[in-house]
């Protein structure tokens, strides 16, 4: 145990002296030497076992054959083994079946996070909150084309393109003002009678609003026409905003038209991926 040197002078000195301080030739403590040699041994073993020595075209591989990539791949294999049974059932079941299975839909939500972020979030927002006036909200219960799970799959796979004619030339200023007032009154739960006439095409302008939006203004999911009678606005719910939509239409051939186009993902994504996304969107809050 004790390494105390009772006679430090015995070993003599090197002859070096600085201000009376001499450099002695005492041996280094044994424990220090032992650790020193042990670390050399460690180094040699490490060089042999692990990739370490840089060579011209790469590096020595080491007896254990360990690499970071291999470790990462092994980890991924483990993850995939856990996921595999879920993925298999998602492939087999139709989307309605997935939705009925709570566990499976939880898996669909969790595993479609990246997909949603890559393909949906740029327009619809990372939480499905939409972009006001441009891209629809996914978390509410208002659906242009319908909120059934099968319809959502269809929407994602085939895309959607809205259409509404502009009425800049066909309606007079009075008719326009009236119909805007009518649309506003619809969502407030009342009817502005003069505007209703315009809406139903009973005036000179022969507008055909009811043909797409329905007589009650609730919209028809077959056409993807917006529900005018609720509190949610596809574009802009202010008076000027409604006027703008009616004047220039949607996806029309004029520079001021509203744009409503969702790309089709059927080519880009695999059917399972679309199923997962549909389940996620359906469960965001408004699925029917």
Partner 1 sequence: MSENIKEQELAELYSESEYWHVNLGETTIHAKRISGKFRNIKWIIAAAVYLPCFLVPYIRWEGKQAILLDIPGRKFNFFSLHIWPQEVWMLALLLMLFFLVMHAVTSVAGRVFCGYFCWQTVWVDVFTWIEEKLEGPPVARVKLDAAPLSFHKVKIKAAKHTIFLLLGVFTGISFISYFIDVYDMWGYYFTLSGPKEIWITILPFAIGTYLGVAFMREQICFWLCPYARIQGVMSDADTIMPTYNFKRGEPRGKIKRESGDDEKKLGDCIDCSLCVAVCPTGIDIRHGQQEGCITCGLCIDACNSIMEKVDRPKELITYISLRELLGHRHRPFYKRGRVLLYFAIILSLCSGIVWGLITITPLSLTVIRERQPLFVMLSNGDIQNKYTLKILNKSNSDIDVAVKVRGLRGAVLELRPSKITVPAGKLKKVTAFVREHRENIDGKSTLTYFKVENMKNKKMRDSYKTVFMGPKR
Q: Which residues bind partner 1 (CB under 8 A)?
A: 1-2, 4, 102, 106, 125-130, 137, 139-142, 227, 230-232, 283, 285-286
In the bound complex, what is the minimum distance in angstroms from residue 50's beta carbon to partner 1?
A: 19
Alpha carbon distance 184, 277 (integer Å): 34
- Provide the 10 A C-beta neighbour count for residue 152: 25
The token pair that represents 227 in the structure block: 């529900």
Cα–Cα distances in angstroms (integers) from residue 34 to residues 28, 30, 39, 40, in the given order: 10, 6, 9, 10
**Closer CB to partner 1, 177 or 236, in the complex:** 236
Question: Least distance in Å: CB of 92 to partner 1?
Answer: 22
Nearest CA among 156, 100, 147, 117 for reference residue 274: 156
**Min. distance of Cβ 286 from partner 1 in angstroms?**
8
Q: Are strands 261-262 and 160-161 parallel, antiparallel or unpaired?
A: antiparallel
Minimum separation from the CB atom of position 269 to partner 1 (A): 23
> Cβ(276)–Cβ(108) under 8 Å?
yes
Residue closer to partner 1 by CB (options 39, 106) is: 106
Decide whether 103 or 267 has the Cβ nearer to partner 1.
103
Q: State which residue, 88 or 100, has the beta carbon closest to partner 1.
A: 100
């Amino acid at each position: 145990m004790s390494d105390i040197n009772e006679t430090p002078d015995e070993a003599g000195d090197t002859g070096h002296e600085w201000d009376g301080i001499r450099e002695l030739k005492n041996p280094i403590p044994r424990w220090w030497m032992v650790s020193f040699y042990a670390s050399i041994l460690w180094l040699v073993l490490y060089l042999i076992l692990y990739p370490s020595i840089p060579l011209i075209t790469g590096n020595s591989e080491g007896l254990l054959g360990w690499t970071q990539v291999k470790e990462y791949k092994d980890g991924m294999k483990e993850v995939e083994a856990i996921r595999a049974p879920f993925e298999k059932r998602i492939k087999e079941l139709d989307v309605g079946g997935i939705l009925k299975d709570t566990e499976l839909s939880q898996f669909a939500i969790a595993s479609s996070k990246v997909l949603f972020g890559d393909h949906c979030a740029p327009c619809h927002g990372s939480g499905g909150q939409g972009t006001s006036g441009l891209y629809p909200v996914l978390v509410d219960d208002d659906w242009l084309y319908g909120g059934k799970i099968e319809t959502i799959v269809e929407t994602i796979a085939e895309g959607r393109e809205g259409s509404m004619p502009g009425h800049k030339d066909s309606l007079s200023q009075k008719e326009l003002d009236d119909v805007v007032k009518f649309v506003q009154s619809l969502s407030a739960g009342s009817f502005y009678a003069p505007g209703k006439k315009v809406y139903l095409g009973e005036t000179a302008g022969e507008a055909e609003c009811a043909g797409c939006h329905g007589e009650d203004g609730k919209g028809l999911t077959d056409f993807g026409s917006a529900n005018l009678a609720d509190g949610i606005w596809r574009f802009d719910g202010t008076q000027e905003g409604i006027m703008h939509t009616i004047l220039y239409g949607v996806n029309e051939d004029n520079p001021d038209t509203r744009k409503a186009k969702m790309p089709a993902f059927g080519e880009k994504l695999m059917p399972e991926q679309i199923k997962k996304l549909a389940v996620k969107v359906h469960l965001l809050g408004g699925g029917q």
